[in-house]
Chains A and B, each alone.
Chain A
Amino acid sequence: MQSKMKESDPILEVDNLSASTDNLPILKGVSLTVYPGEIHAIMGRNGCGKSTFSKIIAGHPSYTITNGEIKFLGENINSLEPEERSQSGIFLGFQYPIEIPGVSNLEFLRVSTNARRKFLNKEELDTFDFEELVKEKLEIVKMDQAFLSRSVNQGFSGGEKKRNEILQMALLEPKIAILDETDSGLDIDALRIVASGIKRISNAQTGIILITHYQRLLDEIKPNYVHVMSDGQIIKTGESDLALELEKKGYEWTDNFIKET
């Protein structure tokens, strides 16, 4: 599928992954490999399994892997806890970031960042040092410091929630980020901020998977590969022009691929 010669080892290898929830199969044999510096986009109709795919990579307890494996930096992570996956460098940007009343955003970000730093054998940051770091990162998502003193995501607008996700990504410096519809519900300005934030954080060592419905995010961040998912399977993979074609022709066009395969 990916014909180019790769110089380094893959970050993420998903091999023939099947998963179900409440005995209902959702993923039916998904394979996907991400190398450092690559940006992948996954597109597809609502309910095709895109979000489930991202949650399973992050270790959501509601889903059971029935077949296949997920390898991260060469290690099978099928049975790792979500926190272990995060600490080791997997980041999931939520489509609907969760509100946690009473827990201050600053403290949440600090505990989270320190968990990752501890894993990397870096010194954990106290409140003062962390505030310095977070101020720097706030700049990336153009967020006001007032966000820090509020409860996690509580009362945030849709755009603020998504920017808070990117802020977390900036603090955690993951090896791979899976961004689940981070662009949905954003106005044009917010989309630009989020997109430029993603670009600033990603580099030649990181991998990114963008789950999206829209070309407009892909205009800002050009993917190396576009995958089309349908009924728990990747039915077509192409380069960035596949997304443009999809935008023009709609998902109905992809229905033919299923018949082909």
Chain B
Amino acid sequence: MVNENLVKDVVKEPYKYGFVTDIETEKIEKGLNEDIIKLISQKKEEPRFLLDFRLQAFKKWQKMKEPDWAALGYKKIDYQDIIYYSAPKQKEKISSLDEVDPKLLETFDKLGIPLTEQKKLTNVAVDAVFDSVSIATTFREELAEHGVIFCSISEAVKNHADLIEKYLGTVVPASDNYFAALNSAVFSDGSFVYIPKGVTCPMDLSSYFRINSGDSGQFERTLIIAEESSSVSYLEGCTAPMFDTNTLHAAVVELIALDDASIKYSTVQNWYAGDEEGVGGIFNFVTKRGKCLGKRSKISWSQVETGSAITWKYPSCLLLGEESVGEFYSVALTNNLQQADTGTKMIHIGPKTKSTIVSKGISAGNSKNSYRGLVKMGTKATGSRNYSQCDSMLIGDQASANTFPYIKSQQPNSEIEHEASTCRISEDQLFYLQSRGIEFEEAVSMMVSGFCRDVFNQLPMEFAAEADKLLALKLEGSVG
């Protein structure tokens, strides 16, 4: 008996980041072949090893088939109809932010990510990526004093080729999956982070990804290396304009944590989700994986997924080091005709490894929201433990929620715990809050925030507030 129309109104969200920046761009021709890959590599003045890496990945990709096991419904992607490199035209060499096209700075300003010296965020260093290239990275000198490297991956290829050659593709090999192979062949830009031994990164690092053009894909690549006893908290945000075509976003993120190192990787994903009829929106097909290589190392993924027409990703942890720890905290909100198939893989390889999974899926409208996760205990993972909790919340009666937990254990001396629940915002709960003077929309948003609390508690402060606001915004109706 819940007033369906009211609920529908409430979950209708306005997308505030849907504008397009009118800027002259340099695009290469559509299509994908060896020449295109050579051209991308040449534009980025890459060393030979990287071109080889790309070409090998391309060969593998050609032999691979696009996976369809997730049963996500979408029109076949024509990979020859995508532009693989698109960059705003600007001066060849930029020595300071003053030389960045004001239109670009304005764009990031509008997105709430001011980059200029006067306005930049005080406690977070930002790498701003626009289509295929990184525009600017703030606080570089300050970070360099601590030995922390934070720059675009293109720069890292030039200035820290040894680290790139040593680590690129070691966590997510090019042959890992179809989209990882594609990314390895054509990746454009992304962030690179290196935290030296014993250093606690003095501020949060953040990348902001902006897709601006409608016909080019975004294939960013991020690599984070935390040396022994170091730690870093990294945040990632994403938005895109509203186009009635679908744009492919196939990123690869690799994290490496050595002995006693810890990496916290938080995402707030708000790519354009398409309209109410499901026209347009980003296909967010991403491979994110962290390798806990060292003893007592820790990798923690937190994600708040609210955007994209389709989200298909499983930020995972390979727990190799003894007593290493993997965590996955996720909130995925789908509305209208959005689809999300997300979760994690916790692969316990070393002994006494520990993993925690907390997933909260909220489905509204006609959306489909699935948790899919694998917990695997290898033969050497004695005394290892996993705890998983997967909760789904349904709003309205047209949305669907699924949970697919896969458990594989080859080690009897290990523990796996799984809890799951599904709930619906009930009319009685809404009436109770309303009868205490709380507006309908606020009541829904209070309950959704309450449902997500366990995950929000894991997010860095500024991000938690942003995530809360974002969910409220997504659930904001045309009323008020």
Q: Find chain B residues with CB under 8 A from A100 CB.
A: 429, 432-433, 446-447, 450
Stretch from A108-116, A134-142, A232-240 that touches the partner: A108-116
Contact A102 B436 (CB under 8 A): no
Query: A62 interface residue, CB < 8 Å from B?
Result: yes
A60 to B426, CA, bound (A): 13
Contact B435 A108 (CB under 8 A): no
| Across-interface contacts of A115 in B (CB, < 8 A) | 436-439
- Bound-state CA distance A198–B428 (Å) is 24
B480 to chain A, nearest CB (A): 12
Are A82 and B446 closer than 8 Å at their CB atoms?
no
The distance from the CB of B461 to the nearest CB of chain A, in whole angstroms, is 16
Q: Which of A86-94, A205-213, A242-250 contacts B (4 or more CB under 8 A)?
A: A86-94
A58 CA to B431 CA in the complex, in Å?
A: 9
Can you give 21 contacting A-B residue pairs, CB < 8 Å?
A58-B431, A58-B435, A60-B431, A61-B1, A61-B431, A62-B427, A81-B434, A83-B435, A83-B437, A83-B440, A94-B435, A98-B426, A100-B432, A103-B449, A108-B436, A108-B446, A111-B438, A111-B446, A112-B438, A115-B439, A119-B437
B3 on interface, CB distance cutoff 8 Å: yes
Q: B residues within 8 A CB of A92?
A: 435
B103 contacts the other chain (Cβ, under 8 Å)?
no
Q: Which residue of B lies closest to A116 (CB)?
A: B437
Q: Which residue of B lies closest to A84 (CB)?
A: B437
Total of A-B residue pairs, C-beta within 8 Å: 81
**Which 8 A/B pairs are nearest by Cβ-Cβ distance?**
A102-B450, A115-B437, A86-B437, A112-B436, A82-B434, A98-B432, A103-B450, A87-B437
Within 8 A of A (CB), among B1-42: 1, 3
B110 partner residues in chain A, CB cutoff 8 A: none
Find A86's partner among B3, B434, B449 (CB 8 Å cutoff): B434
Least distance between A167 CB and chain B CB atoms (Å): 11
Tell me, in angstroms, the Cα distance from A115 to B436 when the chains sit together: 8
User: Are B3's CB and A61's CB within 8 A?
Assistant: yes
Q: Is B451 located at the chain interface by the 8 A CB criterion? A: yes
Instruction: Kindly list chain A residues whose C-beta atoms are within 8 Å of the C-beta of B451.
Output: 101-102
B453 contacts partner chain A, Cβ-Cβ < 8 Å:
yes
Number of B residues, CB within 8 Å of A: 25
Answer whether residue B155 sits at the interface, using C-beta atoms and an 8 A cutoff.
no
* A112 in contact with B437 given A62-B1, A94-B432, A98-B428 (CB within 8 Å): yes
Query: Does A168 interact with chain B (Cβ within 8 Å)?
Result: yes
Contacts of A116 in B (CB 8 A): 437
**Contact present for B440 and A81 (CB under 8 Å):** yes
A97 within 8 A of B: yes
Q: Are B450 and A168 in contact (CB under 8 A)?
A: no
Taking CB atoms and an 8 Å cut-off, the chain B residues in 310-326 that contact chain A are none
Task: Assess the A82–B431 pair: CB atoms within 8 A.
Answer: yes
Within 8 A of B (CB), among A49-108: 58-62, 81-83, 85-87, 92, 94, 97-98, 100-104, 107-108
Verify if A215 is at the interface (C-beta below 8 Å from B): no
Known: A62-B427, A83-B435. 15 other contacts (CB 8 A): A60-B431, A62-B1, A81-B434, A82-B431, A83-B436, A86-B436, A94-B435, A98-B429, A102-B453, A103-B450, A111-B442, A112-B433, A112-B436, A151-B450, A172-B436
The CA-CA distance from A94 to B438 in the complex, in Å, is: 16
Other-chain contact of B435, A59, A101, A104, A107 (Cβ < 8 Å)? A59
In the bound complex, what is the Cα–Cα distance between A83 and B439 (angstroms)?
A: 6
Cα distance A86–B434 when bound, in Å?
A: 8
B 412-459 contacts with A by CB, 8 A: 423, 426-429, 431-440, 442, 446-447, 449-453
Q: Which residue of A lies closest to B453 (CB)?
A: A102
Q: Which residue of A lies closest to B421 (CB)?
A: A101
Closest Cβ of chain B: how far from A210's Cβ, in Å?
18
Complex interface: chain A residues within 8 A of B423 (CB): 101
Contact assessment for A83 and B434 in the assembled complex, using a CB-CB cutoff below 8 Å: yes
Q: How far is the CA of A177 from the CA of B434 in the complex (A)?
A: 16
Contacts of A61 in B (CB 8 A): 1, 3, 427, 431
Chain A residues in 8 Å Cβ range of B428:
98
B110-138: contact bitstring with A at CB < 8 Å (1 yes, 0 no)? 00000000000000000000000000000
Chain A contacts for B439, CB-based, 8 A: 83, 115
Identify the closest chain A residue to B431 (Cβ). Answer: A60
Q: Which of A60, A81, A151, A168 contacts B436 (CB 8 A)?
A: A168
In the bound complex, residues from chain B placing their C-beta under 8 Å from that of A151 are 450
Chain A proximity of B463: nearest CB distance (Å):
19
For B440, what are the chain A residues with a Cβ–Cβ distance below 8 Å?
Answer: 81, 83
